[in-house]
Structures are given as structure tokens and as C-alpha cells.
């Protein structure tokens, strides 16, 4: 078995997300975020992040999104690789790459796009949250990886 992506993909929208853990060296908890919009996704839990803008790398976009949405600076850890070059398929148009990350400055607040932030143990209880459906395989892989 290989960790390399096995399928090429060409999704128009590249999204990036962060699995923010309490410690990259010894992760025990993850900071999850509850979306406030759009209506179809409001109330569901997700990895903080967003769309990559032109001229940005995925990593730059993720740092920007975490600063805008949560008011934090962060260190990125390993990528939680998906089956695609673009990460994990979200829908017909979008795929998401996900990195572990640790807060290096700031106290996370739901400044934008979220109604709530919550630290949750990195165990099976994480799967009991009402995630955006496309995120479940990512959460499962995260639990197997960390
Ligand atoms: N951030 C994030 N988006 C996700 C996840 N799972 C999932 O299906 N998505 C979808 C929801 C949205 O359709 C899209 C990301 O859009 P977004 O609204 O977060 O992006 P953005 O902050 O750049 O927002 P905008 O500029 O379009 O207003 O990806 C996830 O875990 N995190």
C-alpha cells in the first residue's frame, strides 16, 4: 500500500482545511468549527479553512484563512493525504487538502463563518459530531493517522 495519491483529478475549486491539534508532537485534541452559512451547511462541523485564491499556494491560503476566520497564527504539520492530487473530493467542483496544524499565536475565536469552536478528543467521539458529510472519510483517516 502506498501513501501516494493514486488518482489524478481536476476540480475547479481547491479548498484547504486545518486539523488544528493541541500539540503536533503529541496530539490529544482537535479544534473543530461549526459553520454558520450557507443555509445548507449551517450547523455542521468542519475543518477551518476555505478556498485557495489565485497566486496563493495551498499552505499560504490555509494560513490566511486561519488568521481571518479564527484570528490565529499557526504552524502546519503533516498533510492528511487523500486519494486525489487535490486531496479529498468534497462535491462535483471542489476538493480539499488538509494539514495538521498547531496554534503559534492568538486565542481562537469564531470571527467569521462559524457559530462555535470546540476542542474535541481525538478518539471515536469525534465521529459522533454532525460533520459536513464529505468530511467523514477525512476524520476517519485523521484518527487512524494521529
Ligand atoms: N473550510 C471547509 N470547507 C469545507 C469542508 N468540507 C466541505 O465540504 N467544505 C466545503 C464547503 C464550501 O462549499 C467549500 C469551502 O468554502 P468556504 O466558504 O469555507 O470558503 P471561503 O472561506 O474561501 O469562502 P468564500 O470566499 O467563498 O466566501 O468547501 C471543510 O471541512 N472545511
Q: Read off the CATH number of the domain in which 43 is found.
A: 3.90.79.10
CA distances to 37, 97, 121, 131, 133 from 89, in Å:
20, 9, 25, 15, 11
| Domain span including residue 91 | 13-145
Residue 120 C-alpha to ligand 1 middle, in angstroms? 21
The Cα 41–Cα 45 span in angstroms is: 9
**How many structural domains comprise the chain?**
1
Q: What is the pLDDT of residue 2?
A: 45
At 39-55, the pLDDT tens digits run 999 999 999 999 999 99
Residue numbers in the chain where pLDDT is lower than 50: 1-2, 6
Q: CA 8, 24, 102, 27: dihedral to nearest 10 degrees? A: 100
Residues whose beta carbon lies within 6 Å of some atom of ligand 1:
15, 17, 41, 46-47, 49-51, 65, 90, 94, 96, 113, 132, 134-135
Q: What is the pLDDT of residue 26?
A: 97
Q: List for the chain the helix, strand, coil content (%; round to 5).
A: 20, 35, 40
4 belongs to a structural domain = no
2 belongs to a structural domain = no
3-state secondary structure of 91: coil
Amino acid at each position: 500500500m502506498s501513501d501516494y495519491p493514486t488518482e489524478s483529478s481536476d476540480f475547479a475549486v481547491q479548498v484547504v482545511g486545518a486539523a488544528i491539534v493541541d500539540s503536533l508532537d503529541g496530539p490529544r485534541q482537535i479544534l473543530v468549527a461549526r459553520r454558520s452559512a450557507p443555509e445548507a451547511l449551517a450547523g455542521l462541523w468542519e475543518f477551518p479553512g476555505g478556498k485557495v485564491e489565485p497566486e496563493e499556494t495551498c499552505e499560504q491560503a490555509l494560513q490566511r484563512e486561519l488568521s481571518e476566520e479564527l484570528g490565529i497564527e499557526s504552524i502546519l504539520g503533516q498533510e492528511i493525504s487523500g486519494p486525489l492530487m487535490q486531496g479529498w473530493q468534497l462535491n462535483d467542483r471542489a476538493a480539499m487538502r488538509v494539514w495538521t496544524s498547531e496554534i503559534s499565536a492568538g486565542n481562537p475565536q469564531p470571527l467569521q463563518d462559524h457559530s462555535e469552536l470546540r476542542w474535541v478528543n481525538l478518539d471515536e467521539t469525534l465521529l459522533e459530531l454532525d460533520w459536513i458529510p464529505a468530511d467523514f472519510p477525512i476524520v476517519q483517516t485523521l484518527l487512524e493517522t494521529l
